[in-house]
Structure formats: C-alpha cells, structure tokens
Amino acid sequence: MHWIDYRSDTITKPTPEMRKVMAEAEVGDDVFGDDPTVNRLQERVAELTGKEAALFVPSGTMGNQISLNAHTQPGQEVIVEADAHIFYYECGAPGMLSGVQLRPLSGKHGVLTAEQIAAAIRPPDVHQPQTSLICLENTHNRAGGTIYPLEEIQRIARLAREKGIKLHLDGARLWNAAVATGISLKEWCEPFDSVSLCFSKGLGAPIGSIVVGSRSFIERAHYYRKAYGGGMRQVGIIAAGALYAGEHHFERLADDHRHARQIAEALVELPGIQLNLDTVQTNIIIFELNHPTLSPARLVEQLNDNGILIISMGGNKLRIVTHLHITDADVEKTIAVFRQLLGHPGRIH
C-alpha cells in the first residue's frame, strides 16, 4: 500500500540526490575540528542566521539541552511555555543535566507575552531561584505550528536584556516560520542569545540539528556537546545531507504549508471536527474530534485502513503534519477519505 504518512515531518527519508551527496562528502575527524563538510555547514548557517558561530549536533533535543546548560547554573530557573517541547518532550533533561528548574507559563497558541514573562521573573530574594533564561519555541509544535509574532519576541528580548536574562529559541521549525512570513532567518534570530534549528524535520535530512550564537556561547556549547556524548567523528557524511536539505528543501516548505491549509479548510467543514483555522499557519494541523458515533481512536484506525497515518495528541486531539513526501494527489485523497468517514452526520460507524 502507498502510505500517506502525516505522523510527523521527521518521517521523511533522504532522497536519492541527497544520498549521493552524502556518500560523496569530504570528511575528517570533527572532534578535532577537521571535517570540512561540517565546517562548511556551520559557517553557512552562522552566516544565514547572522550569528558569530554554529555547532552541529545530533538532535534538536541535544541542541536545546546544551544551550540550557551553557546559559545557566544549577538551582536557577528557566521560563518556558507550558506546551513547549523543552518542557513536554525532553525527558526532564533540564533537571537531570543542568540542575535547573523549569517555570512553565501558559501561552495563547504557544505565545507568551512580555508582560506575562515580566510577572514571572523572580525578584532578588534569598528564598527564590534566580531566573536566568527564557526559552521560546517558533514555530510551536503542540500549538499547531504557530508562528511567534516577531514584535512580541523583540519586546521579550528588551525585557530579558534589561534584566540580564538570556534568551534561547527552540527553532526546530524556524525554517517554516521564515518561509511562511518572508521574514529572514537573520531577523528571526537577531533577538536571541542562542537558537537551535533542525535539519531532520521539514527540511528532510535524516539526522542533525545546529545551535547558533556568540563565539563564547558556542565554545561552552561545544564542551557540553562532548560531555553529552555528542562529539562525532567523520560526521561530514551527515552534515552533507543537512547542507543539501538547506539548499534544496527550504523554499519548498511553502508546498507543505499550502497542503496543510488545503486539508484544514476541508476538515473544518466536517461534522465533529473542531479546528481553529487561525492556528494553521505552517505545516501542522491540530484538531479535536467530538463526533457522536466515531471516537478519535476509531477515526485513526479507519484512516489507517485507508492508507493514511495520523497521530493522537492525547484526549480528543489529533495531529496532521505535512512534509516533503506529501503530494497534491495525497492531499486530494486525504480530503476524500475524511469526507467519506465524517461527511455524513448521523451515520453509524
């Protein structure tokens, strides 16, 4: 069966062209700083994001966690949004690896305001942890791929600077925000002390993320990468896939956004589906199913029987993510199947 797989944009496989450049990549021992392909990737992304330096890392989680460690001391507090990947899906690593406490604040569609953050910053007090870092996420995964308004980020950055607090961005899907808005990566990254970006999500590389920031921050991050077991040797073979992905799969993210929009506009018409179209800004659709006769779990099964894979986000929430392998024909078939399964109110399933 031809599976139409919307479980995540991480499921993409390297294309034949990508595999070819990976196989032919020039390599060296990257722990010695000798891998020319890794060095080229780091220089290229530092330039693209307007930062002094970059560090290639195995995963987005490692990128976030080494950044947290490089910016904080044990016992300090980090402000995050309550649905952030760092808070939700990184195994409690901030406590385990950096000895910091997370302070989750509930945002609207993943967005915290500067006022909300200002109210949560700890005053100087011998009893309280010191707030030393704020982490934002753009685009925001659990909020449905929503884009953080740049002006709000700039307000938060001014507040952070005033208070002497560092600002980190989980930019696993910052590429999507850049394509969707036309705002350059450089403009998106400017307010932050550090940003992590992933090559293995929408860009379609099999492995790899990168952290950018000042030279002194990257030196510290480098130390933690080694400590976490992320020092890799002839890793140019992987960095070549990331370089290829950045060159060939960045602009095409607009196709993923168009596909998500087409699906969302069809879903919103169907009985039992609750979906706020305003949240469908990039390649993720999160919707709720409250149908009289069809449970979310049963819908997932029935889609499965029709060759379509989606995942549950807990409760009645379901998620669809579009990516490199989803075609116009897949989108048409998906809409037709959803209409067939849900399009008749009152039908017994």
Ligand X SMILES: Cc1ncc(COP(=O)(O)O)c(C=O)c1O
CB of 341 to ligand X, least distance (A): 27
Closest to ligand X by CB, 137 vs 342, is 137
Q: Collapsing DSSP states into helix, strand and coil, what is residue 222? A: helix
Segment contacting ligand X by CB under 6 A, of 55-63, 126-134, 176-184, 293-301 = 55-63
How far CA 269 is from CA of 186, 228, 333, in Å, comes to 38, 48, 16
CB of 7 to ligand X, least distance (A): 11
Closest to ligand X by CB, 239 vs 341, is 239
Closest to ligand X by CB, 39 vs 59, is 59
Out of 14, 60, 144, 296, name the contact with ligand X by CB under 6 A. 60
- Rounded to an integer, what distance in angstroms lies between the CA atom of residue 283 and that of residue 236? 29
Residue 284 in contact with ligand X, rule: CB under 6 A: no
Q: Collapsing DSSP states into helix, strand and coil, what is residue 211? A: strand
Residue 236 in contact with ligand X, rule: CB under 6 A: no
Strand order in the sheet with 131-137: 53-57, 209-213, 194-198, 166-171, 131-137, 77-81, 101-105
Contact track, ligand X, 76-95, x by CB under 6 A: ---------x----------
Closest to ligand X by CB, 132 vs 176, is 176
Dihedral sign, CA of 48, 53, 59, 62? Answer: negative
Residue 141 in contact with ligand X, rule: CB under 6 A: yes
User: What does 22-78 look like in DSSP terms, one character per residue?
Assistant: HHT-----GGGT--HHHHHHHHHHHHHHT-SEEEEES-HHHHHHHHHHHH--TT-EE
Residue 59 in contact with ligand X, rule: CB under 6 A: yes
Strand order in the sheet with 273-274: 273-274, 284-289, 317-321, 311-312
Residue 209 in contact with ligand X, rule: CB under 6 A: yes
Closest to ligand X by CB, 188 vs 338, is 188
Closest to ligand X by CB, 85 vs 222, is 85
Q: Which helix (H) or strand (E) holds 104?
A: strand 101-105
CB of 60 to ligand X, least distance (A): 3
Instruction: Give the tokens for residue 166.
Output: 């560092």
Phi, psi of 65 (to 5 degrees): -70, -35
> Other CB atoms closer than 10 Å to residue 314's CB: what's the count?
8
> Of 99, 153, 110, 100, which Cα lies nearest the Cα of 131?
100
Segment contacting ligand X by CB under 6 A, of 58-66, 125-133, 251-259, 306-314 = 58-66
Segment contacting ligand X by CB under 6 A, of 53-61, 227-235, 280-288, 312-320 = 53-61
Residue 7 in contact with ligand X, rule: CB under 6 A: no
CB of 343 to ligand X, least distance (A): 31
Closest to ligand X by CB, 58 vs 236, is 58
Which pairing describes strands 194-198 and 166-171: parallel, antiparallel, or unpaired?
parallel
CB of 5 to ligand X, least distance (A): 15
Residue 69 in contact with ligand X, rule: CB under 6 A: no
> Of 131, 142, 133, which Cα lies nearest the Cα of 82?
142
Segment contacting ligand X by CB under 6 A, of 59-67, 110-118, 160-168, 280-288 = 59-67
Residue 137 in contact with ligand X, rule: CB under 6 A: yes
Residue 61 in contact with ligand X, rule: CB under 6 A: yes
Out of 30, 170, 256, 330, name the contact with ligand X by CB under 6 A. 170
How far CA 226 is from CA of 55, 229, 295, in Å, comes to 11, 5, 46
Contact residues toward ligand X (CB under 6 A) are: 10, 59-61, 85, 137, 141, 170, 172, 198, 200, 209
